[in-house]
């Protein structure tokens, strides 16, 4: 009985596919393919490393391009400002609903999660430049009224780039939002 099993030699040409990992997008997919090939077929640690590099390199490159170029463009900043105004308008509704439910305005924006778990309380404007990520919209309860605004692109409250809710009602005495103290 012949027990000779043919085991093919490892081809070094598969390592050349690793060069495609330097090409964004395609490199991520090639990296994923090389990683899966290394895990399930060849058990080659270097090939797995090349695959992981291709995936990480593609992701890192796209994050770099977004936050250095696209995220700071005037078009994307204006888009974030529009989205922030929409969030501010929704927060006014949530705050007023909170008052209907609890008889007073919330002490902070996190309390709005009681009435609406999806309430957007994080200011999205700073995301354009990694400026104070995770920062909340400015909110302060002032007696039976409240202040609410975004610090704008600079992330500093009470400057010229601050954004406010755009409330259009005929009788502003029906809501507690005020622009300033």
Pairwise CA distance, residues 156 & 85, whole Å:
17
Q: 142 with 86, same domain? A: yes
Is residue 173, in this structure, part of any structural domain at all?
yes
Q: For the packed helices 26-37 and 45-65, what is the interaxial angle rounded to 10 degrees? A: 160
Q: 95 with 153, same domain? A: yes
pLDDT tens readout for residues 138-161: 999 988 899 999 888 777 888 888
Q: Helix H segments across 103-176?
A: none
Binned at pLDDT 50, 70 and 90, residue 5 comes out as low
Number of structural domains the chain divides into: 2
Binned at pLDDT 50, 70 and 90, residue 102 comes out as very high
Is residue 5, in this structure, part of any structural domain at all?
no
Is residue 6, in this structure, part of any structural domain at all?
no
Pairwise CA distance, residues 143 & 177, whole Å:
11
Q: How many CA atoms, within 13 angstroms, populate the side-chain half-sphere of residue 108? A: 4
Q: 40 with 85, same domain? A: no
Name the 3-class secondary structure at 24: coil
Is residue 2, in this structure, part of any structural domain at all?
no
Neighbours of 9 (CB within 10 A): 5
Question: What DSSP string runs through 57-96?
Answer: HHHHHHHHHIIIIITTSHHHHHHHHHHHHHHHHHHHHHHH
Is residue 8, in this structure, part of any structural domain at all?
no
Containing structural domain, residue 156 = 74-178
How much is the pLDDT for 56? Answer: 93
Q: 121 with 36, same domain? A: no
Q: 78 with 66, same domain? A: no
Pairwise CA distance, residues 150 & 141, whole Å:
15
Pairwise CA distance, residues 86 & 166, whole Å:
8
How much is the pLDDT for 79? Answer: 77
- Domain end, chosen from 70, 90, 115, is at 70
Is residue 4, in this structure, part of any structural domain at all?
no
Q: 51 with 117, same domain? A: no
Pairing of strands 138-142, 177-178: unpaired
- The burial of 149, by beta-carbon neighbours within 10 Å (0-12 exposed, 13-18 middle, 19 or more buried), is given as buried
Q: 134 with 174, same domain? A: yes
Q: 90 with 21, same domain? A: no
Q: 78 with 125, same domain? A: yes
The model's pTM is 0.58
């Amino acid at each position: 009985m012949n027990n000779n099993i043919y085991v093919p030699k490892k081809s070094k040409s598969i390592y050349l596919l690793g060069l495609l990992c330097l090409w964004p997008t395609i490199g991520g997919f090639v990296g994923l393919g090389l990683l899966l090939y290394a895990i399930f077929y060849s058990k080659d640690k270097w090939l797995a490393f090349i695959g992981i590099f291709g995936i990480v390199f593609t992701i890192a490159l796209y994050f770099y391009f977004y936050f250095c170029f696209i995220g700071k463009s005037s078009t994307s900043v204006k888009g974030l400002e529009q989205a922030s105004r929409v969030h501010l308008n929704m927060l006014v509704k949530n705050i007023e609903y909170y008052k209907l439910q609890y008889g007073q305005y919330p002490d902070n924006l996190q309390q709005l999660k009681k009435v609406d778990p999806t309430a957007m309380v994080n200011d999205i404007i700073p995301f354009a430049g990694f400026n104070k990520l995770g920062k909340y919209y400015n909110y302060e309860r002032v007696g039976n009224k409240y202040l609410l605004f975004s610090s704008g692109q600079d992330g500093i409250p009470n400057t010229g780039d601050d954004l406010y809710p755009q409330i259009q009602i005929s009788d502003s005495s029906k809501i507690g939002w005020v622009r300033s103290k």
